[in-house]
Amino acid sequence: MTEVLDEFYSCREFYTWEINLDEVRDRLMNIDESKRTLSNIFDELYCNYSKKHAPGSRIWGDKTPLNTLYLDWIGSVYPNSKFIHIIRDGRDVVDSYLRMERYQKLEEAARRWNTSINLAQSFGSKRGDDYMEMRYEEMVTDTEPVIREACSFLGIDYSPEMLEHTSRVDKLGDTDKAHHSNLTKPINSESVGKWKKNFSDSEQKEVNRLLSQNLLSLGYVD
């Protein structure tokens, strides 16, 4: 338990959660040692967060892109969890990776998207009804039906307020980062197909080549 919480204590951006880790530690110390499992430690962290920022919440979730690389492990820690895989045109994803300087080379960014798609779909094939795919492009052009479908999958009620995200941006904690700047804007499709404007002809040809197999299987190219 101590080792896990120490990771959060040492994380320089954990302050954005605005919760007291000492309270989490105290609560965990007051339960039977056999119940201080990794899943319960994380559950206590997220429940503490929701108690402060979203009172009345019934479930919690985590949207971290890197999770895609560790789905088997996460699924073993939370065997009853559900997974939503948001798939986006890899060419736009590669463009975003490069613009935010997550990767320096087109080849590296392409490899990351290919790996993420392959791992997530392989994992989903084993999870059955606990795994759902949605398309980014559909989510930003026909939002309500997609969100309703996600709600049905999660077993929660849909509310129109879910589409009014701009009023709650300040509660998300780390929205000062450049790649989160669009959170203050209404849902829109401005970023769909932007790779065509940002990549040169040679880069367009190369990104299509590197992503060809998954672009074809996902229906992004004929």
Containing structural domain, residue 126: 61-217
Give the chain's end-to-end CA distance (angstroms, integer). Answer: 50
Separation between Cα atoms, residue 93 and residue 104, nearest integer Å: 14
Does 222 map to a domain?
no
Contact between 207 and 94 (Cβ < 8 Å): yes
75 and 151 housed in the same domain: yes
* Cα 103-183-72 angle, rounded to 5 deg: 55
170 and 182 housed in the same domain: yes
Q: Which of 59, 75, 103 is the C-terminal boundary of a domain?
A: 59
Q: Total domain count for the chain?
A: 2
5 and 83 housed in the same domain: no
Residue 177 pLDDT level (bands cut at 50, 70, 90): low
Residue 17 pLDDT level (bands cut at 50, 70, 90): confident
30 and 88 housed in the same domain: no
Does 193 map to a domain?
yes
For residue 10, is pLDDT > 80? yes
Contact between 59 and 156 (Cβ < 8 Å): yes
**Helices 21-29 and 2-10, axial angle in degrees (round to 10):** 180
26 and 104 housed in the same domain: no
Amino acid of residue 161 = E
Residue 2 pLDDT level (bands cut at 50, 70, 90): confident
Q: Which of 59, 88, 109 is the C-terminal boundary of a domain?
A: 59
84 and 178 housed in the same domain: yes
**pTM for the full predicted model:** 0.88
| Residue in the block written with tokens 């930003």 | 140
155 and 182 housed in the same domain: yes
55 and 81 housed in the same domain: no
For residue 119, is pLDDT > 90? yes
110 and 178 housed in the same domain: yes
Amino acid of residue 154 = L
125 and 18 housed in the same domain: no
Instruction: Give me the pLDDT at residue 145, please.
Output: 97
**In the Cβ-directed half-sphere of 85, how many Cα atoms lie within 13 Å?**
23
